[in-house]
Amino acid sequence: MKFGIRGLSILVGTTAVTLAASSLTALASAAPAANGTVNPYSPTAGHPYRHGAVPTLSQHAKMKSWDAAHPQAVTAATGPQTLSYGGGIDGIGVTSGHSKVYLIFYGTQWGTAGTSGGNTTFSNDAAGAAPAAQNMFKGVGTNSELWSAELTQWCDGPNVAAGATSCPANAAHIPYQSGGVLSGVWYDNAAASPTAATGHQLGVEAVKAASHFGNTTAASNRYAYYVVLSPKGTNPDQYQGQYCAWHDYNGDTTLTGGAVASTVGDVAFSNQPYNIDSGAGCGVGFVNSPGTLDGWTMTLGHEWQETMSDQNPAGGWTNHTGSSYNGQENSDECAWIAAGSAGGAANITFATGTFTEQASWSNDTNNCAITHPIVGGTANTVTVTNPGNKTGTVGTATSLQISATDSGSGTTLTYSATGLPTGLSINATSGLISGTPSAAGTFSAVAKATDNTGASGTASFTWTITGGGGNTVTVTNPGSRTGTVGTATSLQISATDSGSGTTLTYSATGLPTGLSINATSGLISGTPSAAGTFSVVAKATDNTGASGSASFAWTITAAGGCTAGQRIANPGFESGAVSWSQTAGVIGQNAPSEPAHAGTWDAWLNGYGTSHTDTLSQSVTIPAGCTSSTLSFWLHTNTSETTTTTAYDKLTVKIGATTLATYSNLNKNTGYAQKSFSVGSFAGQTVTISFSGVEDSSLQTSFVVDDTALNAS
């Protein structure tokens, strides 16, 4: 048994045994039950900021099994699943207005961005998760869907008392979210997403996104929600095998690293891993076959509904009954109910497509339901009169009046439009589109009218603008191009015009990072700074508005050099288990029995004196070209074994599947010794550094690791 970890001391026989203080904190933070025990399988155990965490299917089964074996007393008169109001935080309980959802695709690992069907797409998203998320949030509140109507029963405001289990007539209810809730999409490719982003890092990204979208005041963020979507292959907040998504807000002091500072008010956000990587554990195939996106859209919907009903957790509607549901939110209580069962998951059809969603708990019907009547009546219907297809000419002023009607009385309409010809704009109050077209082309316009309840309607039409002289501009296609990061390059774009006496202006989209085009000469030049295959469109436009374009691929390969530096995160364990995977209790503050080599934290494997295995690992990327890279760590081994010939207890150190060294009770020493290994052969790979300690049935051996490093060079 291990001795000497600081915390709570208990007596086993005549021996004082000490429990780690960090372990006590984790127990205290787990979802509490009425009899004072905790569910150790909850993904919130030790991580209280994981509000609304969707456990994996296997974890959910373990939680249910544990609950069944630990029956709870129920304090609520209306049943164990009843939600009650938390009184609000900073005056915020629910999203009692029209939701503004912002999607943040976090990190360069999403790949090259493109567009398709009006959505942002990514080259490293073969499953189509990104466009599915956009279409889902665009479709909320359309096609008369009633899945989101469950939210209209929840409320906040000064007239709602803390502890209330229903809303008074004069409360501020969540309105029906007519016409979609997607308000913005941002590809933050300034840097790679962390391999295992912490909750604090995700909160920082959400606050950063608020400013990016221009939401720089508390008022502009009152009804905003930022979904931080991590790319394929990453493990944000160590979700793999534990949970599929969670939500929180920046002011939560229990976030890893504490609350996230904000000058823009409270910021609600969620952690949306690329949970398709978890397969059936996070819902792949839960309703459909193959159902690749079933769990993806279910968890997106789960966290959005919980943010709507509990925007600043836990100031909104959560469970306080003292039952096994204690601390859960409306969607938590209905997670992973099989399709076809009462309250089970189902496909919901929006105007933008069909998406798999789960049910949520309703106090007013006392059950889990996939649909719900709109509280306060049906939503208004806004109808925009379609003006039909339009035509115009470059340089000739034009106008078009957009008209709309509303089934509601006493409402006001606000107009907007997308896809208008260049040079035209719409008056938000009157709906009049006017201006002078400045570019030829066929434009797919969508006019929209929205009333003050959030209901909206649209009309789609084409608007064809021809060049004043009917000129034809032809751009010579240069063919596919190649280049190398760090090596300057150039390409001359050439074009001809059927008109005489015209001048051409050049532009380009999709250029490799670091390159630009001269608008006057058409020369593309610069030094590529990022590898990838870029879809380039070069365009030439004459002064009558006529234009032509050429599309081609430009592939940039990485340079052969090495980006030197230390690659292991949290190398001395001073941030606890951040960035490391471990068996329970390995990383800790273990003085005085096993003091650290430096600082106060180390990793203590084994030392139990019984048959036991401990593991410690972290995934690390060694940059291409770093063929002189070195892995090092400090190791202290102490043992109660007395043999000088037999290795009973062993520590194995690996990089990937390659064993670097094996240590045993025969390698005991009185202090720390540094171990170093050349790992340059793994340059250009992402590999796992792992320590595995195996102890036999008697006489302890402790392997203490500290101050790790992987110096890429």
- Rounded to 10°, the helix 294-309/129-139 angle is 40
295 and 386 in a common domain: no
Last residue of some domain: 535, 557, 579? 557
Termini Cα distance of the chain = 41
**More confident call, 376 vs 555:** 555
Q: In the structure encoding, which two tokens stand for residue 312, read together? A: 């600043």
Lowest mean pLDDT, pick from 73-82, 90-99, 126-135, 296-305: 73-82
pLDDT of 227 above 50: yes
Share of the chain above pLDDT 70, in %: 91
Residue 245 domain flag: yes
Residue 341 domain flag: yes
Residue corresponding to tokens 């695709």: 105
pLDDT of 583 above 90: yes
Residue 13 domain flag: no
Residue 45 domain flag: no
571 and 640 in a common domain: yes
Taking only the tens place, the pLDDT of each residue in 484-528 is 888 899 999 999 988 777 889 999 999 999 999 999 999 999 998
| Arithmetic mean of pLDDT, 210-222 | 94
Q: In the structure encoding, which two tokens stand for residue 335, read together? A: 């997670």
551 and 679 in a common domain: no
The pLDDT of residue 9:
29
**More confident call, 319 vs 322:** 319
679 and 599 in a common domain: yes
pLDDT of 438 above 50: yes
User: Parallel, antiparallel, or unpaired for β 547-557 and 481-484?
Assistant: parallel
The pLDDT of residue 530:
82
pLDDT of 466 above 70: yes
What is the residue-averaged pLDDT of the chain?
88
* CA–CA gap between residue 344 and residue 283 (Å, rounded): 13
Residue 17 domain flag: no
Cα distances (Å, whole numbers) of residue 268 to 51, 140, 253, 260, 499: 11, 19, 14, 11, 55
302 and 250 in a common domain: yes
**More confident call, 375 vs 14:** 375
Residue 595 domain flag: yes
| Residue 546's pLDDT band (cuts 50, 70, 90) | confident
The pLDDT of residue 396:
86
pLDDT of 355 above 80: yes
Last residue of some domain: 515, 532, 557? 557
342 and 405 in a common domain: no
Cα distances (Å, whole numbers) of residue 236 to 19, 107, 200, 368, 600: 28, 12, 11, 30, 26
Q: Which residues contact 71 (CB under 8 A, 6 or more apart)?
A: none
Lowest mean pLDDT, pick from 312-321, 464-473, 676-685: 464-473
pLDDT of 33 above 60: no
Phi-psi map region of 111: left, alpha, beta (phi>0 left; psi -120 to 50 alpha): left
How many domains is the chain partitioned into structurally? Answer: 4
The pLDDT of residue 557:
73
The pLDDT of residue 454:
66
Tell me how many degrees the CA angle 545-551-555 measures, rounded to the nearest 5: 140
Residue 182 burial by Cβ neighbours in a 10 Å radius (0-12, 13-18, 19+): buried
Q: Shortest CA distance to 129 belongs to which of 247, 279, 274? A: 274
pLDDT of 45 above 60: yes
The pLDDT of residue 77:
46
Tell me how many degrees the CA angle 16-18-24 measures, rounded to the nearest 5: 145
pLDDT of 56 above 50: yes
The pLDDT of residue 5:
29
Lowest mean pLDDT, pick from 1-15, 179-193, 241-255: 1-15
Share of the chain above pLDDT 90, in %: 67
pLDDT of 112 above 60: yes
| Arithmetic mean of pLDDT, 406-414 | 78
362 and 392 in a common domain: no
| Residue 442's pLDDT band (cuts 50, 70, 90) | confident
The pLDDT of residue 407:
78
The pLDDT of residue 470:
67
| Arithmetic mean of pLDDT, 559-564 | 73
* CA–CA gap between residue 246 and residue 300 (Å, rounded): 9
**More confident call, 410 vs 10:** 410
The pLDDT of residue 37:
54
80 and 125 in a common domain: yes
Q: In the structure encoding, which two tokens stand for residue 672, read together? A: 């720390």
**More confident call, 311 vs 169:** 311
552 and 571 in a common domain: no
Taking only the tens place, the pLDDT of each residue in 638-671 is 999 999 999 999 999 999 999 999 999 999 999 9
| Residue 300's pLDDT band (cuts 50, 70, 90) | very high
Residue 43 domain flag: no
Cα distances (Å, whole numbers) of residue 667 to 191, 594, 672: 43, 16, 11
Residue corresponding to tokens 């913005």: 184
607 and 483 in a common domain: no
The pLDDT of residue 38:
66
| Arithmetic mean of pLDDT, 128-151 | 95
Domain with 578 in it = 565-712
Long-range interactions of 419-424: CB distance < 8 A, separation 24+: 419/443, 419/444, 419/445, 419/446, 420/445, 420/463, 421/392, 421/445, 421/463, 421/465, 424/398
The pLDDT of residue 65:
86
Last residue of some domain: 540, 557, 574? 557
510 and 390 in a common domain: no
According to DSSP H, which parts of 431-565 are helical? none
484 and 586 in a common domain: no
Residue 6 domain flag: no
Q: Shortest CA distance to 603 belongs to which of 689, 711, 699? A: 689
The pLDDT of residue 378:
57
| Residue 592's pLDDT band (cuts 50, 70, 90) | confident
CATH code, 652: 2.60.120.260
The pLDDT of residue 515:
94
The pLDDT of residue 617:
96
CATH code, 428: 2.60.40.10
